[in-house]
Amino acid sequence: MTDLDSLIEGRGRSIATQGAAPTVAAVLAGLAVLILVTGMLDTGLSVYAMNLIGQAATFGLLAIALDLIWGFGGILSLGHGLYFAIGGYLIAMHMVKVAFQVTGTPPDFMLFMGWTDLPFYYAFMENFFYVALVIVLFTGVVAFVFGLISFRSKVTGVYFAIITQALVYVAMLLFFRNDTGFGGNNGMTGFVELLGASLSDRNTVAVLCAISILVVALALFGLNMLVRSRFGHMLVAIRDDEARLRFLGYETIWVKMLAWCLSGVLAAIAGALYVPQVGIINPRVLSPELSVEIAVWVAIGGRGTLVGAFLGAIVITALKFLLTAYVPELWPFILSALVVAVVVFLPNGFYDLFEVLRRGARRFKGAKTVEAGE
């Protein structure tokens, strides 16, 4: 099997010695600092632009989270919106609780139901550290339970993907109900401040944007090390030939569980960063379509590279934003055409387009004779 062929085939796709991740991480970290500084100095990008970039960054994080288990673990989840939503709803609850403690009145959607007090699960939510802990632990538990049930019963591949779709669909239906204290189909909105800082203030926007980008940089850096560690090797081995790894004496389920829970928590963190910047959360984040879109970002950007997933999310989000502003009718058609084109012709996404061109050029120059494969 030639280098080129294995590249296109996808399976058995090598982890490059270092990859672009650390470089990109460094660049992003620098960008974060730049935005922070210019934001606070009242120069540089507008509040609007920073806010958008921050949101896009959280999508990038979400894509990276999916790439971890899909690109490296071979486990396609079409329901990652669930974890994103958990993080988002939890941070929203925090902001609602803080507002309640200041003003004494519950938010509108609770008033409509005649509630004068917040339900019991809002207890302690005004404490940010508690919320942060809950975000990580609760998501971890949910991911753990679902992962355990599924991996134990050896549900894999397409079946697994379908079940994750069904799960997020059901969660969406649940959250559409108006009596759960989460805002029902209108969701929660009207957030005023986070950690004492007004959400509309330029400094806050800059900080949030910078933090989002920084978290992405950290994730890229950290995950890059992780996938090159022994654990990462195990994960990739599971993707390519789980039976073989089991027959080396490894209980593969725990590797998958760790990757799955980590992926879920990262997605939740992305959600928690997203909601304060977008200012609203509603059950639409739980729509099956959005969860599939996450996979589309990763697929188009390039699975198994971390950077590819990030770029895929950024590019598609930017494209969607631009196109829906000028030709909103056209966007769905463009997206579907893009997905089909990439899936059929560029199985490893655009990231690989560069690789293919680069190696194709080298090959053309006769720099390497490649042995014929099986």
Partner 1 sequence: MKIHSHHFSCMSRGHASYLTRLFVTLTIGLVPLSGNAGAPEPVPGYERAAVVSALCSGKTKQMTAGINDILTAVSNKAEDSGWAATIISALGHKKLRCSKKTGLALLESGDAYQDPSTLSAVTLDGKAPPAPFVNLRVRANLDVADSLLSLIRDPVGDGAEAAVVVLEKQFDNVHVPLLTLALARITDPDLKARLQVVKALKSLRAPDMDERLAAIAAVAENPTERNRTALVTLRQDAAYVAEDPRLAKALDSAISEIDTWIQVGHVGSVLFSGLSYASILFMASLGLAVIFGLMGVINLAQGEFIMIGSYTTYLVQEFLRHAAPGLLDWYLLIAIPFAFIATALVGMVVEATVIRHLYRRPLMTLLATWAISLFLINLVRVAFGTQNLEFIVPSFLEGGTRVTADFFITWSRLFAIVFSGAVLVLSWLLLNKTRLGLYIRAVTENRDMAGCVGVSARRVDLVSFGIGSGLAGLAGLVLTPIYNVNPNMGTNFIVDSFMVVVLGGVGNLAGTVISALGIGQINIFIEPLYGAVAAKIIVLLMIIVFIQFRPEGIFAVKGRK
Partner 2 sequence: MMQGKTALYIDGVAVAFGSLRAVDGLSMLIRYGEVRAIIGPNGAGKTTFLDIITGKTRPDSGVIELDGGIDLLALTEPKVALAGVGRKFQKPSVFEALSVEDNLNLSLRDPAFGMTREMFRSATAAERERMEHVLETIGMQDMQSQSAGVLSHGEKQWLEIGMLLLQEPKVLLLDEPVAGMTHAETERTVELVKSLRAPERAVVVIEHDMSFVEKIADVVSVLHEGRLLVEGSMGRVQSDERVRDVYLGR
Q: Which stretch binds partner 1 (CB under 8 A): 60-68, 130-138, 151-159, 316-324?
A: 151-159
Per-residue interface string for the shown chain with partner 1, residues 61-80, x marking contact by CB under 8 A: ---------------x-x--
Closest distance of CB 210 from partner 1, Å = 33
Among the listed residues 36, 167, 215, 311, the single contact to partner 1 using CB under 8 A? 167
**DSSP of 229-297:** SHHHHHHHHHHHHHHHHHTTT--HHHHHHHHHHHHHHHHHHHHHHHHHHH-EE-GGGG-HHHHHHHHHH
Among the listed residues 40, 292, 319, 356, the single contact to partner 1 using CB under 8 A? 292
Q: Which two tokens stand for residue 190?
A: 């009207």
Give the interface size with partner 2 as a residue count (CB under 8 A).
36
Give the interface size with partner 1 as a residue count (CB under 8 A).
42
What lies within 8 Å, CB to CB, of 205 at 6+ separation is 39, 47, 50, 51, 54, 199, 277
Q: Which two tokens stand for residue 27?
A: 């660049």
Name the residue nearer to partner 1 (CB basis): 16 or 340.
340
Binding residues among 221-280 for partner 1 as defined by CB under 8 A: none
Does residue 245 touch partner 2 according to CB under 8 A?
A: yes
Closest distance of CB 218 from partner 1, Å = 29
Does residue 336 touch partner 1 according to CB under 8 A?
A: yes
Torsion angle, CA of 99/101/103/109, rounded to 10 degrees? 60
Using DSSP, state whether 117 is helix, strand or coil. Answer: coil
Does residue 333 touch partner 1 according to CB under 8 A?
A: yes
Binding residues among 253-272 for partner 2 as defined by CB under 8 A: 254-255, 258
Does residue 1 touch partner 2 according to CB under 8 A?
A: yes
In whole angstroms, what separates CA 361 from the centre of its chain?
34
Q: At 107, which amino acid appears?
A: P
Q: What is the largest CA-CA distance in the chain?
A: 76
Name the residue nearer to partner 1 (CB basis): 163 or 280.
163
Does residue 229 touch partner 2 according to CB under 8 A?
A: yes
Separation CA 224–CA 19 (nearest Å) = 8
Binding site for partner 2 (CB under 8 A): 1, 3, 6, 11-15, 17, 229-231, 233-234, 236-237, 239-241, 243-252, 254-255, 258, 370-371, 373-374
